[in-house]
């Protein structure tokens, strides 16, 4: 049947071309040429062709009316290839408005992440996007639309009722005849605003628009989850790269500084919360820096190389620990990598004596083990000198269990059980 109707349309085209050829043959026989022929051609072009185009389109719509089922199927097919909101605007929404005989419409999307609205405006072939649009949350339309079934149709509202008159007023401000909410289950995603139509909105129009709103909701949510998935993958890669950078700058957890054995015990997986580095200036002088970090991985990947380079540069110049701390914090803050001073402790080892400096806000504690008890040092001062200790303990740890039982210092496994998350202990033992 559809093929037959298409054939009828083609017959009209053939007949029109035949009439034009017949007229041309008649003009040839009566010897009409020159200016008269030009005038005739202008009249045909200006009048006959537009009239024929208008009537053939009218006949085409009568013989081959567009079915809403076809529009729905086309809409679904196009949604399968959608990549962004721009595709919704440029392809589907404009076509839907055109087929239901509406000249203008709005798609208003609400972002839960940023708590603002984005408006896509469509009027015939003109399109406009308004980002971060200001919409009053107390707007009566937003208040009464509580689900995907709360469709507003202006022609069905009673202006004699104050409440409904307020709704009509807001709809007229938007130039809308229909407002269809976009919901994904109970999650409000936005509004589809359909402009005024000369003819009455049919039930099929409503069903088709509801189906479109449902599809837009699905694409919106799928797009969000796809974006989050890609974002998480990128973060994972960034973390992996940052941890690799971090580990490149971390010495082994156990080793020797001249005649002193050092050992670091930490909670598994807390590389992001502390950093230490060792620099041997000569056979008798070494520097150790420990930084208590509170930052995200991407920032650490910038901070740690900077701290390491600055530390070695100032250690090579022979500065005392407190001077090194002040200079590192000054440079880091000048580069605007941080706002507050870093929590640093710097130790300068000369033979078996230790010159120590730490930030005033540092949460790193220092303890000395004299063979029988563990005693804290530097409780109030930001610098100190310790002569020939048996063991020096640097920790971000309450040390309560170790104070009660100093023998834990010799048992790495037992000691690691006392370490909480984001804590560490560094033990320097005289060989």
Q: Report pLDDT for 287.
A: 92
Summary mean pLDDT of the chain: 77
Instruction: Name the pLDDT band for 170 (thresholds 50, 70, 90).
Output: confident
Q: Report pLDDT for 369.
A: 86
> Rounded CA gap, 113 and 115, in Å?
6
- pTM here is 0.46
Q: Write the pLDDT tens digit of every residue in 295-332.
A: 555 566 677 778 888 888 898 888 889 999 999 888 88
Residue labelled with tokens 């008649």: 26
Q: Which domains does the chain have, with CATH numbers?
A: 2-63 (no CATH), 68-226 (3.30.450.40), 250-430 (3.60.40.10)
Q: Per-residue pLDDT averaged across 269-295, rounded?
A: 77
Q: Write the pLDDT tens digit of every residue in 5-64.
A: 667 667 777 777 777 777 767 766 776 666 666 776 677 676 776 777 767 666 655 655
Q: Write the pLDDT tens digit of every residue in 183-226.
A: 887 888 888 888 877 677 778 778 778 877 877 777 777 666 66
Q: Per-residue pLDDT averaged across 338-356, rounded?
A: 86
pLDDT above 80 for 385: yes
Half-sphere exposure of 423 (CA within 13 A, CB side): 14
> Rounded CA gap, 300 and 303, in Å?
5
CA distances from 386 to 30, 212, 324, 327 (A): 124, 76, 18, 23
């Amino acid at each position: 049947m559809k093929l037959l109707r298409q054939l009828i349309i083609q017959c009209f085209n053939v007949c029109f071309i035949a009439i034009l050829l017949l007229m041309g043959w008649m003009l040839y026989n009566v010897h009409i040429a020159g200016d008269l022929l030009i005038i005739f051609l202008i009249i045909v072009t200006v009048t006959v062709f537009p009239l024929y185009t208008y009537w053939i389109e009218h006949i085409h719509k009568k013989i081959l009316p567009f079915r809403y089922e076809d529009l729905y199927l086309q809409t679904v097919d196009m949604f399968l290839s959608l990549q962004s909101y721009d595709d919704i605007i440029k392809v589907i929404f404009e076509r839907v408005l055109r087929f239901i005989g509406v000249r203008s419409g709005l798609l208003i999307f609400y972002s839960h992440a940023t708590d603002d609205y984005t408006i896509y405006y469509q009027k015939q072939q003109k399109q406009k996007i308004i980002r971060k649009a200001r919409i009053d949350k107390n707007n009566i339309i937003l208040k009464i639309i509580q689900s995907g079934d709360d469709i507003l149709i202006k022609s069905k509202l009673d202006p004699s009722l104050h409440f409904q008159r307020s709704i009509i007023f807001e709809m007229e401000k938007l130039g809308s005849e229909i407002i269809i909410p976009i919901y994904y289950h109970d999650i409000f995603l936005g509004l589809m605003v359909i402009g005024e139509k000369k003819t009455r909105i049919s039930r099929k129009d409503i069903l088709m628009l509801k189906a479109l709103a449902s599809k837009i909701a699905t694409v919106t949510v799928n797009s969000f989850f796809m974006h989050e998935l890609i974002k998480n993958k990128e973060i994972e890669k960034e973390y992996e790269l940052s941890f690799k950078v971090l580990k490149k700058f971390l010495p082994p957890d156990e080793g020797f500084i001249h005649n002193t054995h050092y050992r670091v015990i930490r909670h598994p997986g807390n590389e992001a919360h502390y950093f230490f580095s060792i620099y041997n200036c000569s056979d008798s002088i070494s520097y150790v820096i420990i930084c208590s970090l509170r930052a995200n991985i991407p920032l650490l990947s910038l901070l740690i190389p900077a701290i390491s380079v600055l530390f070695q540069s100032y250690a090579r110049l022979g500065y005392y620990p407190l001077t090194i701390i002040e200079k590192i914090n000054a440079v880091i803050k000048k580069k605007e990598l941080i706002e507050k001073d870093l929590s640093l402790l710097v130790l300068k080892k000369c033979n078996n004596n230790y010159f120590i400096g730490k930030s005033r806000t540092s949460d790193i504690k220092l303890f000395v083990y004299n063979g029988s008890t563990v005693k804290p040092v530097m409780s109030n001062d930001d610098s100190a000198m310790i002569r020939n200790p048996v063991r020096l303990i640097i920790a971000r740890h309450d040390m309560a269990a170790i104070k009660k039982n100093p023998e834990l210092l010799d048992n790495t496994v037992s000691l690691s059980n006392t370490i909480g998350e984001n804590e560490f202990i560094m033990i320097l033992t005289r060989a």
